[in-house]
Structure 1
């Protein structure tokens, strides 16, 4: 029997119902899509001349400036959030209970507050005359740092306890264990999740629109609302162009994640476990039995006369 024990194969009636529901759902979705296209067509949104606005050098320069502003905020927020995540993760794993509780409260608090409220509060209230760029960067850093800290903590907790115990048995301190054993494996294990959160950080830069930071969404609004052609605003064209830019940026990050993951697997697979033994064989003379105990002789008695 090929059916899973957790899934009952549908009978003839169930299959017929599924087909009917699929057909009805498809018809409804196609109807809604057709209605939306018809409304946009009646408003002249598909007129070819609406694309002419992107031939102007000023419009293209505006888009380029907005793209650079978005990438600048993303780069700063991405790097700072990862650094902040490491600090919060270390605090969450601390042996001191007050430090753990402070980190826990901070993480839960800023993960619960909507990111837009945090950004707006930084811009208008908490830090006074802060520029919109740094309000956006700090807001993204705080929120995404809290999320990334929990991701790193999950990766650290996934490392087998035997490795940690072996490291302590060798005399390593907690800092050495964390830096050389726990974090490298945690980052490698959670790399897809870390990159996914960086994609969220990139998309959340669009919240700068609410505090007048000239990023991509802000530029899209200006173009769509201030450049009418024949009395028609190029809403559909602007959405397509800027949506394509966001999609390209996210796909580039996804490609980077796959590239780093492949490099990590290749470097890990390239380690030769017998390298140390080979060096010992080169040091020891040929035929020497100094490294091999005689039959019945323990490894601790090798150097005994």
Structure 2
């Protein structure tokens, strides 16, 4: 079972956004924590990634910073204390022509109602990847396209932006995964667990129990529960609930199906049961979630020029 693909399907529930940011001056910039996942790509100049509990990390052009589950962080042209960074300044327009001390692209999915997928929450809060662009020329092409589309309002820009974010996130996660040992990322290479995940993903409407899932895996219940929790990062029934609700969230955003139909498709016996579980997970009833998508464009800074 391809868990990276499942990550992408889950974050698509959020609103995609992208911005070019130019930064100059002595103050730096601080990004608050948010519900979702995103990344920065350094385009020009050098800077430092600043966090509250880790030493500053030097960044060079081409480096990618993945905020796997929306942790707060900052960037500055020199090492500094996180407490000294001012909050990001909002701006309604693209940054004016430079030069800047450094420039970077921001992209991500805001999940105002819900959290980043469990897989991303098992990763370090902030991950720095330095792609080999000679070996991965497609990465450079995607970044160039994202730079062109970010902040645009032309026809089709929203769909193009979301597709580019998907592709860049996939490649960043692959690159990071390739640099780690397998203990650092929850995989489903285990055939038994892959079989159970496939059953959950393709048939969320079925009345699954631990017993039925362990039969799909061909394992005793206790051994299955222990192995599933180790591989995936949470117990089977908790994972099942999360998958059903995230699948329901996608159906709410992507279809006009009645709530009762969606409830049945994701394994709930009634609209009321689905609504109760959904509100517990996302903090809002499904009807409001369907009609009030998050607005990442209103909360993402476009430039901060403190020269």
TM-score bracket relative to the smaller structure: under 0.3
| Greater length-normalized contact order (CA 8 Å, ≥ 6 residues apart) | 2
- Higher share of residues assigned helix: 1
TM-score normalised per structure 1: 0.22
